[in-house]
Amino acid sequence: MDIVLATRNAKKIEEIRRMMSGIRVNILSLADFDCPDVQEDADTFEGNAIKKAVAISKCTGHAAVSDDSGLEVDALGGLPGIYSARYAGDGADDASNVRKLLAAMQNVPNESRGARFVCCIALALTDGSIYTFEGEVKGSIALNPEGSSGFGYDPVFYPAGHGITFARMDAGQKDSMSHRRAALEKLKAHLKKIT
């Protein structure tokens, strides 16, 4: 089965290709097609992932896989959530998002700094059926940024049971416990069944 990945992020494409080796799918990327960008304007990770997968499947005529992910912080009622990439507003980057998060958490005591990364992957098949797979990693928000690996909120996220932030881990260690990996494992198990 041909599957188009609804992302232009080279790191994600690489990770998904690696993960899918050994199963009978041919991974194509958006670079192989001329499809318009899809607005991520749904109000859940699942809604955004489904919207992208369906649009790309319709545009290409192949099955499509897309993902949406972000950080949910308990003390902020789940924010930044679906707004993770643009939490600090127009022109936000990783550094400004992290600064805004730490400022919002300034008076939050250690025992209330719980958070989770969430990833939702959607698979849209050419017969119109849709499947979603969710992964999460629980943890807590640091008082200050620590480490320089990874991206996004990695410098302020302590995965539960580990004494270091994601940004102090090497890529392999982070990937092995990430929300994206957990969702991808579920997608892979499903694809194994249907191919």
Selected from 57, 66, 69, 165, the binder of ligand IMP by CB under 6 A is: 69
Using CB under 6 A as the binding rule, whether residue 84 contacts ligand IMP is answered as yes
Select from 54, 55, 70, 116 the one that contacts ligand IMP (CB under 6 A).
70
Are the C-beta atoms of 157 and 141 separated by less than 8 Å? yes
Closest by alpha carbon to 83, among 73, 93, 70, 74? Answer: 70
41 is catalytic: no
Among 66, 69, 65, which Cα is nearest to 44's?
69
What are φ and ψ of residue 122, in 5° steps? -115, 140
Of 13-21, 28-36, 61-69, 106-114: span binding ligand IMP (CB under 6 A): 61-69
Q: If binding is defined by CB under 6 A, does position 158 make contact with ligand IMP?
A: no
Site residues (CB under 6 A) for ligand IMP, limited to 88-147: 97, 117
Task: Give the span between the Cα atoms of 165 and 172, in whole angstroms.
Answer: 14
Footprint on this chain of ligand IMP (rule: CB under 6 A): 67-71, 84-85, 97, 117, 150-154, 166, 178
